Amino acid sequence: MKVLAVDDDPIILEMIEATFRRSRSPKVRLTVLSSGPAALKLLADPNQHFDCILLDIQMPQMDGITLCSHIRALKSYRDTPVVMLTQRTETASIERAFMAGATDYVTKPFDPKVLRARLRVAERMMESAALAPRLSLSKLHGKGRPGQHDFALEDPLHIEDVHQLVLPFPLGNYLSQLARNDLGDCQVFAATIEDAERLYTQGSTREFAVAVAATVAAIAKIVDHPQLLMAHNGNGTLLCVASGVQLPNWPEIEDMIQEEIDTSGLHHDNGVRMDLSLSVGSPVHPNASQSQRVRRTFSRAIQRVVRRQKVLSDTPPPDILPVSAAH
């Protein structure tokens, strides 16, 4: 595994080098650099390729978040794990780093065991990221053929030019790394596009991507907080993680997001209005157990949106409510 570490602090670079020397692992070959421009020059060399990149967030000339964005623009590094090195006081920057394409983070000063563990996670991530479908709304100009896609309905989907949308694996990394005293300020909820299966079987890839993107934009506008990350988990379901924010009341949040979608002016490829219905589950706080946090928290959030779907499906429309319920 070839790893590139970029940090302007020589002490941190020495700690990283010492971490891998002491591990006596022949699998890791480390290269260290002290600036973003030097890193970009090396990464542009076709004779060089790295399997994982470590970036400090705070650096002169070019900060780590900007550098991460530039790295993601390189075709050879669209799916390469990027682990941010951050001070504990830089929590507000972590979400921006994930939006720029980061896949994990380690807080400084770091425990060498933690850093090695995150690199093992990065190795697993390389396999999952390569399989994840990626779309770009700006490139989906052609109408495409209805029901024919390069991904399955249940596949997690990443839309590159949609703000605050990441893949489930990085979102899970973000959640798992939250400090215990930050869990009380974090809420996780799920939202499902009710028309997802119909859109998938009858619509084009562009139409499906537009529906997901519009839902993400509506949620982001209503929650209105920079510390909000989302991932499309497949089947039209979005997992949403909001830190340090008081969410609107539930179920009012569902009505607010739905109204935002209804007024967004979505259209199918043939110009017909696209009507989307959304179910939003009530939020949950992350599980305290770090090892079980991601699986249990996301599972609970999805279960709540499934229950919400059942409630809505069992509720008759207002015009056919029984007399006793209408008074």
Tens of pLDDT, residues 85-132: 988 666 678 888 998 999 999 988 888 888 888 888 887 777 666 566
**DSSP conformation class of 145:** -
User: What type of residue sits at position 202?
Assistant: Q
Q: Are 33 and 2 in contact (CB under 8 A)?
A: no
In this predicted model, what pLDDT tens digit does every residue of 177-217 receive, in sequence order? 887 778 888 999 999 999 899 999 999 999 999 999 999 99
Q: Tokens representing 8? A: 């302007």
User: 31: closest CA among 48, 45, 46?
Assistant: 48
pLDDT for 143 = 62
The model's pTM is 0.86
Looking at the DSSP bridge assignments, the partners of residue 193 are 278
CATH fold group of domain 135-327: Alpha-Beta Plaits (3.30.70)
User: 258: closest CA among 282, 280, 232, 284?
Assistant: 280
Domain assignments of the chain as residue spans, ordered by start = 1-131, 135-327
DSSP string, 26-47: TT-EEEEES-HHHHHHHHT-TT
Separation of alpha carbons 202 and 146, rounded Å: 5
**DSSP conformation class of 111:** P
Q: What are phi and psi of 101, to 5 degrees?
A: 120, 0
> Is residue 69 scored above 90 in pLDDT?
yes
Q: Are 84 and 134 in contact (CB under 8 A)?
A: no
pLDDT for 231 = 95
Query: In CATH, what class is 1-131?
Result: alpha beta
Tally Cβ neighbours within 10 Å of residue 60.
9
Looking at the DSSP bridge assignments, the partners of residue 54 are 5, 83
For residue 86, the surrounding DSSP H or E stretch is strand 82-87
Separation of alpha carbons 47 and 96, rounded Å: 31
Separation of alpha carbons 30 and 21, rounded Å: 10
